[in-house]
Every structure is written in C-alpha cells, then in structure tokens.
Amino acid sequence: MADVMGSAAVVRAIIEAREAGDLDACLDLVAADSLDQGHRATRDDWRRKWELMRVGSPDMRITTEHSVESGEWVANRYTVRGTHTGDFFGQPPTGKPFEVNGIDMVRVRNGQVTEHWVVADPFGAAQGDATHRRAS
C-alpha cells in the first residue's frame, strides 16, 4: 500500500501545484465529491474556482504563516498577495496590489481534500490596507 500524505502535506502540495499552473495535479488531491464552505463541490467546481482566481490575479501567491494539523484536519493562517487585474470573486479589477489574510480548515481523508472552510479579510478592505502598507 502506498503512503498517503498527511493533511498539511496535501494542502501544501495543492498550493504549490496551483501556483505552478498544474490544476490537474491539484485536482488529484481533491475528492470527487467534497464540501467547500458547506456546499457540495465537484472537481469541476474546484477547477472553475481556481481558474477564476488566476484570472483575477495571475501573479497571486499564497504564504502559509502557520499550520496546525490534527488527524484529518489542518488549520492554516495564510496571506494571499497579488495584483488585482481581473474580476476577483465579483470585485471589478483595480490594477492595484493586494494582500488578504485568512484562516482555513481543511479535512483530508485518504490523501484527498473532502471538506474546506475559510474566513478571510474582505477583499476591498484588505486591498486598501496592502496599498497603504506598500506606500509607507
């Protein structure tokens, strides 16, 4: 039997593959039927979400600041940085750099994400904060 990655390793692998533009590798680490924010999500749903994120910010990078793993669950505090060049979750593009802080919890079973919950800064407020921080 092959070794199965732990919860934190799966999340790191998804982030790295997504930033490299390899959505197929990401989707291999997501269960065919999962929950995202309490809603049923297929792999196609995940692909669409990640593609929209890339359209909204092609240079987007995620930095995991802290990660705590407990069994099937991993909690992450992270910072998302990029340039807002396209529609980003309904927000029209500004062309400005942004920084969003968030916390998520991810459940991983048998090496695949089965559940995802996230709380993040409002995009507009965080964007203003990042612009201010960069100007200082």
The number of folded domains in the chain is 1
Q: With 0-12 CB in 10 A as exposed, 13-18 as middle and 19+ as buried, what is 113?
A: buried
Tell me what the mean pLDDT of segment 130-136 comes to: 36
User: What range defines the domain where residue 19 resides?
Assistant: 7-135
Q: Is residue 30 in some structural domain?
A: yes
Say if 70 falls within a structural domain.
yes
- Name the band, by pLDDT with cuts 50, 70 and 90, for residue 135: very low
**Structural domain includes residue 1:** no
Residue 65: give its domain's CATH number: 3.10.450.50
Tens-digit pLDDT profile for residues 37-75: 999 999 999 999 999 989 999 999 999 999 999 999 999
Q: What is the pLDDT of residues 86-120, one digit of tens each?
A: 988 788 899 999 999 999 999 999 999 999 999 98
Q: Residue 71 domain-assigned?
A: yes
Average pLDDT for 14-35:
95
**Interatomic CA distance for residues 64 and 13, integer angstroms:** 12
Q: Is residue 2 part of a domain?
A: no
How remote is the C-alpha of 1 from its chain's centroid? Answer: 30
- Report pLDDT digits (tens) over 2-21: 578 899 999 999 999 999 99
Question: In whole angstroms, what separates CA 21 from the centre of its chain?
Answer: 13
In a domain, 118, yes or no: yes
Q: Which amino acid is at 36?
A: D
Residue 83 makes CB contacts below 8 A (sequence gap 6+) with 57, 58, 59, 95, 96, 97, 98
Instruction: Give a yes or no: residue 125 inside a domain.
Output: yes
On whether residue 28 sits in a domain, the answer given is yes
Round to whole Å and give the CA distance between 58 and 97: 12
